[in-house]
Amino acid sequence: MREKNVPLKSEKIFALNLTARAAVTVVGNPVTTRMESGVSNCFPGLEFDHRNLDRRFFPGLVFDFVSSSDDLRQGARLMQVDVSDPDLDPSTFANAPEDQPDANAQSQLATALYGDPGAALAQGAWFIESISQGGKTISLHERAVGRPPLDGRPAWRLVRSLQPGPVRIVLVRRPTRQGERVPAPRSIRLSGWRRRFVSSDTGVVSEAYMPGELSQSLCSPWMHDFRDCACTYWASNHPDIVLNEEIVGGGENPVTENPLTAGTPIDWLRSDRWPARTAAAEGTEGQNRAAQMDHYQINRRWQDLSIVLGGREVSRIFNAREADTAKTFATADDLAAELVKLAELEHLVSLEYLYALYSVKNPALVKDTALQNALTFVRHELLGIAVSEMRHLRWANQLIWELEHANLTTKPIGPSLGIALFMPGGPTPRRRMLNGLTKETLQSFIDVEQPSGTLDGAYARVLATLRQPKYSGLSLEQLAARIVADGMQHYSKFREIQVILKPYLDTNPSAYLQTPYQKAPVSHPGAQKALKMYAEIIDDLTKAYKLGDMEDAHLIADARRKMFDLKAIAEELADKGLGIPYFQDDNA
Amino acid sequence: MTQLINVTGPGCVSPPPGPPPRIHLIGGERPLAFLVEGSRLFALERDFFAALETGDPGAEQELFAATGAAPRQPDFDSRLPEPAAISLNISQSCNLSCSYCYADEGRFGGRARLMPLEVALSAIDKLIDGARGRRVTLGFIGGEPFLNREVMYRSVDYALERAQDRGCTVGFSVTTNGTLLNRTDVSLLRDHGFAVSVSLDGGARVNDRYRRARGGASGFQQALRSLKPLLDNPGKARIAARATIARDDLRVAGRVNALADAGFIEIGVSPLRTSPDASLVLKAGDWPRLLEEMIRAAEEEWQRILRGHGFRFSNLATAMKQLHAGSAKPLPCGSAANYVSVSATGGYFSCHRTIDDQRFALGTTAAGLSTVARESFIKSRHVDRQEPCRTCWARYLCGGGCHAEVLSAGRGGCDYIRGWLEYCLRFYDRLLQERPGLLETSQRRPK
């Protein structure tokens, strides 16, 4: 006999080939609908027009919120009676009993819509007259008698504020022209419920919405609106600023043509598409306007606009690198052991980058504007990369934790907060080292982050392993995929730093480097304070990662607070030409 | 409840009589379930697999509920579109005299002849007119097509010109013994990206046993000499070797290795089922041995794959591609539907194997291709209408076997096909674990 308490289906049946994968019902909305899939940047961008949700707030009916100068036409107008609405079918809620409306209400509403009221509603112009919920009734007319009905926008606003749960509406039939005699019935009262727009079980948008329905009112690339939306608010397929195409050569060893071009934001809507004339985007929309496609051009040339993936224009077949062919780990123990090493590496690179960061002069103390800009850029980007590596440290630990708690590993393995002894990259790994941001140090950072180099290559193996069916229940792929993608960005960023510092690297490093800059002796009071703070942070993180409470844990919050304190101490020490001696065995 | 699950362990059994099975269970270290409709493959947790094996109706119901509906089958009542591929049998004559040749040295049992140019051009007109902007493929077969070089060259030029006029693209293929290629031929094949299928059975010794030039010279040496420039620099062409396996030597791996050494990067084999020389045709007792040999060759391929190489054994590569895509077809091939063949005198036939066999005649280039004949042929060949196919779990993977062979020689190797497919399903699972990238990236240029 099989156990009564059967595990989830997802732990029993694993789809292998494409038709099998296509047939399995996957929990959640498609990845393309998620906020992080949008390419929009300056303006938020719309994944969908949420007014379209409210058009079907009342099951079985579809409304339009009409604004018009004609009193007869404005308001919440009924467009369609849709008896195929899945909310009217009790079996829709078989897997989500908490979303199930009251069975009586469901059957009564279905009966009404199939019966005479439904037939009457299919004729003539019907508008919502009033809405009742929780003992309150709101009229969709202005209060005074004889006043015109509310415009579509306030009517929509009122519908928007309904809560999921029982709702009663009154619909009235209006004449379609002045003086027309409206036949009976002139008013119909329906009891129903405010639709739950997403399933509380899966988060999936209600199946009442047809494909394309939620985005139907957004502007399309071939429309004037796509160029200048009246509310500068457009579909998420309209980015403002993107990064230029980066990869030349393709294949397994793509070459970055020019790190500056690759890292320079350009205007997506630029009219001159000739690559050699592509210039950096200006800082404001107004400044970019002259170089952008005009209305008549967007109508005709919208297909010249580039596809954007990961914030970057892509004109050839997109090659998702490495992860496709990477070798998988045989067991979850092997995978976790690798993650332990990777976490140690993440920890090491964070420290090396942070140490190097404070070797760069404080821009506030420099007079030359060009140098000041360069210093600001370098410090900002270095800090960004270091923080990103810290996030990876946490993600690597999360991966370990998830593997352990799914009982995929045979023994407890994490957390991993050690510091690696050797740094990969270059021809041979080098001993870990705390150094200022000299030319050589910068090159060694570039080597580490090089695509298909050591670090992202290792994650590609992790990713390939996590794509195996046995890990599919854990949904960890995304974490590993983001680490791989970040690596590519770090590489570009370091190369940009290299270009920005080019005027100084060889001939005049003292222009941008603190001189002297060296490790503070351990006995130095500032160093002692910093190291104590650092030890506390690691202690907090160790405990937090052990508990596995990865979000909102007070320990993580504590550690974060202490990181800000540590940053302040690091700045103080840097002003004295000293760096925090995170480790002492590097002979530097 | 009716047992609709088909279970096999190692080896295989003939399909049981009764309703068509919907699931095929494959036991082993990692149990698999193959859902016949939609060719969907699932890995199962062991206890759940065990429940299915014992016929637990709850488990079966759970499996179907979890896996959803199968993709829809093609609609056989809708009208057939015009074929997008034809092959022109431009030379019903051959310079070799292979003892097993189904085409009877290209004569297909008839007189040796060459296709006149006007027949070729008329067939090309009909192909391109019917394409309505789709990509079309024009194939040249024989006999040995390079014996009618002029018609081939002029057909290529004409097809390109007509395709440009009608806004469609055209691809080319040729099946050749490779012995007659000159420098201009090599350029033609390179420049127009021909899919070149070379009939060679293995290394010199194996090949020359049956594939001898008239007069007894080595067909293998002759072919390699003339193919060398193309193998060294294929340009846009794609070259594959195809070996025929006769019953007196069922070995596969050796052939694949020998042809790979000769410079081929895609090598396929096919067993001999019909031949003018009946003593070479595979018999019932040969199939289990052939299966062993196929598996041995595939295991060698597996070792290469683990070392980071791509596929070269195309029987396996094609199976992987189709299993990955979940290909489920009620017919074995596109013959008579998407593909027809034209005889030297301008007769349409269901494929290159059935030239001049009136059972498979579908019209003439003069009178036109008969859609009614094509539709009725296809309907009659639907695998769900064939016995014993109807109750076989592998029916939508196999499609019921080559029409030409089945109608001439019956269905002999079904256990072999099921055994090979079951092996391939296991192989697919391994591949998905170890080298999933091979399934997702293009396999055009394996290492």
Within 8 A by CB and 6+ apart from A216, the residues are A49, A52
Tens digit of each residue's pLDDT (9 = 90 or more) over B371-381? 889 988 988 88
Nearest residue on chain B to A471, alpha-carbon basis: B433
Contact A158, A122 (CB under 8 A): no
Chain A hits for B39, CB-CB cut-off 8 Å, are 17, 19
The two three-digit tokens of residue A415, written as one number: 């957390």
DSSP-derived 3-state class of residue A486: helix
First to last CA, chain B: 51
The two three-digit tokens of residue A427, written as one number: 């021809």
The H or E element that residue B369 is part of is: strand B368-369
DSSP-derived 3-state class of residue A371: helix
Contact A401, A339 (CB under 8 A): no
DSSP code string of A304-322: GSPEEETTEEE-S-----S
Nearest partner of B37 among A530, A355, A23, A396, judged by Cα: A23
- B66, B71, B323 member nearest A9 (Cβ): B66
How confident is the prediction along chain A (588 residues), in pLDDT tens digits per residue?
222 223 334 568 888 888 888 766 566 666 656 555 555 544 445 667 778 899 999 999 999 999 988 888 899 999 999 999 999 998 888 778 889 999 999 999 999 999 999 999 999 999 999 999 999 999 988 666 677 889 999 999 999 999 999 999 999 999 988 888 999 999 999 999 999 998 887 778 898 998 878 877 777 777 777 777 655 556 666 778 888 876 554 444 444 456 566 667 889 889 988 877 778 888 887 888 889 998 888 888 888 888 887 677 887 666 555 445 677 888 999 999 999 999 999 999 999 999 999 999 988 888 888 899 999 999 999 999 999 999 999 989 989 988 988 888 998 888 999 999 988 776 778 889 999 999 999 998 988 887 666 676 778 888 888 887 778 777 788 788 888 777 777 888 898 899 889 889 888 899 999 888 999 999 999 999 999 999 999 999 998 888 775 555 688 888 888 998 999 999 999 989 999 999 987 654
Would the CB atoms of B68 and A325 count as touching at under 8 Å?
no
Category of B329 on φ-ψ map: left (φ > 0), alpha (ψ -120 to 50) or beta: beta
The two three-digit tokens of residue A382, written as one number: 């270095």
Residues 16-55 of A with CB under 8 A from B: 16-20, 22-25
Chain B hits for A3, CB-CB cut-off 8 Å, are 47
According to the model, what pLDDT value does residue A96 have?
Answer: 80
Chain A hits for B310, CB-CB cut-off 8 Å, are none
Chain A hits for B47, CB-CB cut-off 8 Å, are 2-3
DSSP code string of B340-353: EEE-TTSEEESSTT
Q: Let me know if residue B135 belongs to a domain.
A: no
Count of helix runs (H) and strand runs (E) in chain B: 15, 15
DSSP code string of B97-150: --TT-TTTTTTTTS--EE--HHHHHHHHHHHHHHHTTS-EEEEEEES-GGGGHH
Q: How far apart are CA A51 and CA A62, in angstroms?
A: 12
Q: Let me know if residue B33 belongs to a domain.
A: yes
Burial class (CB in 10 A: 0-12, 13-18, 19+), A223: middle
Contact A97, A79 (CB under 8 A): no
Q: How far apart are CA A305 and CA B414, in angstroms?
A: 54
- B38, B44, B434 member nearest A13 (Cβ): B44
Confidence band of B275 (pLDDT split at 50, 70, 90): confident
For residue A551, give Cα distances in angstroms to A346, A394, A473, B127, B291.
20, 11, 20, 64, 56
Would the CB atoms of A20 and B59 count as touching at under 8 Å?
no
Q: How far apart are CA A510 and CA A494, in angstroms?
A: 19
The two three-digit tokens of residue A84, written as one number: 């195929």
Chain A hits for B48, CB-CB cut-off 8 Å, are 2, 12-13
Lowest mean pLDDT, pick from A64-78, A279-293, B113-127, B349-363: A279-293
For residue A581, give Cα distances in angstroms to A513, A535, B172.
18, 12, 69
In Å, how far is B41's CA from the nearest CA of chain A?
5
Q: Let me know if residue B238 belongs to a domain.
A: no
Q: How far apart are CA B241 and CA B243, in angstroms?
A: 7
Backbone angles phi, psi at A15, to 5 degrees: -70, 135
Optimal mutation site among B23, B32, B42, B434, interface A, most CBs of chain A within 10 A: B42
Q: How far apart are CA B92 and CA B347, in angstroms?
A: 13
For residue A335, give Cα distances in angstroms to A409, A452, A465, A466, A521.
9, 19, 8, 9, 39
- B44, B324, B441 member nearest A12 (Cβ): B44
The two three-digit tokens of residue A122, written as one number: 């299919």
DSSP code string of A120-151: HHTSSEEEEEEEEETTEEEESB-SSTTPPBPP
The two three-digit tokens of residue A54, written as one number: 């409210």
Optimal mutation site among A4, A5, A10, A16, interface B, most CBs of chain B within 10 A: A16
For residue A465, give Cα distances in angstroms to A186, A408, A477, A509.
65, 13, 9, 44
Nearest partner of A548 among A341, A335, A336, A405, judged by Cα: A405
Q: Let me know if residue B239 belongs to a domain.
A: no
- A20, A25, A326 member nearest B41 (Cβ): A20
- B40, B56, B441 member nearest A19 (Cβ): B40
DSSP-derived 3-state class of residue B446: coil
The H or E element that residue A170 is part of is: strand A165-174
Backbone angles phi, psi at B269, to 5 degrees: -125, 150
- B32, B48, B436 member nearest A467 (Cβ): B436
According to the model, what pLDDT value does residue B447 have?
Answer: 30
Q: Let me know if residue B48 belongs to a domain.
A: yes
According to the model, what pLDDT value does residue B49 have?
Answer: 95
Q: What is the 3-state secondary structure (H, E, C) of A28-45?
A: CCCHHHCHHHCCCCCCCC
Confidence band of B17 (pLDDT split at 50, 70, 90): low
Partners of A238 in the β-ladder: none
Q: How many CB atoms lie within 10 A of CB A15?
A: 22
Contact B323, B425 (CB under 8 A): yes
Confidence band of B445 (pLDDT split at 50, 70, 90): very low
Would the CB atoms of A25 and B45 count as touching at under 8 Å?
no
| pLDDT, averaged across chain B | 87
Q: How far apart are CA B181 and CA B189, in angstroms?
A: 10
For residue A240, give Cα distances in angstroms to A133, A342, B71.
42, 36, 40
Backbone angles phi, psi at B364, to 5 degrees: -135, 160
Q: How far apart are CA A339 and CA A402, in angstroms?
A: 12
Nearest partner of A441 among A351, A575, A342, judged by Cα: A351
Q: Let me know if residue B305 belongs to a domain.
A: no
Q: Let me know if residue B368 belongs to a domain.
A: no
Would the CB atoms of A3 and B32 count as touching at under 8 Å?
no
Query: Does the domain formed by A332-579 have CATH 1.10.1060?
Result: no
Q: How far apart are CA B256 and CA B265, in angstroms?
A: 10
Q: Does A252 touch chain B (CB under 8 A)?
A: no
Optimal mutation site among B25, B40, B73, B441, interface A, most CBs of chain A within 10 A: B40
Partners of B271 in the β-ladder: B245
Q: Does A132 touch chain B (CB under 8 A)?
A: no
DSSP code string of B218-229: BHHHHHHHHHHH
In Å, how far is B397's CA from the nearest CA of chain A?
13
- A2, A23, A325 member nearest B38 (Cβ): A23
Domain boundaries along the sequence of chain A = 51-194, 224-314, 332-579
According to the model, what pLDDT value does residue A6 have?
Answer: 31
According to the model, what pLDDT value does residue B3 have?
Answer: 34
Would the CB atoms of B35 and A2 count as touching at under 8 Å?
no
- A3, A13, A328 member nearest B67 (Cβ): A13
Q: In A311-362, which ranges are continuous DSSP H helix?
A: 332-357
Q: Let me know if residue B39 belongs to a domain.
A: yes
pLDDT above 70 (res B106) = no
Number of domains making up chain B:
1
Tens digit of each residue's pLDDT (9 = 90 or more) over B51-72? 999 989 899 988 888 887 776 6
Q: Does A168 touch chain B (CB under 8 A)?
A: no
Residue A292 DSSP code: B
Pairing state between β B113-114 and B85-92:
antiparallel
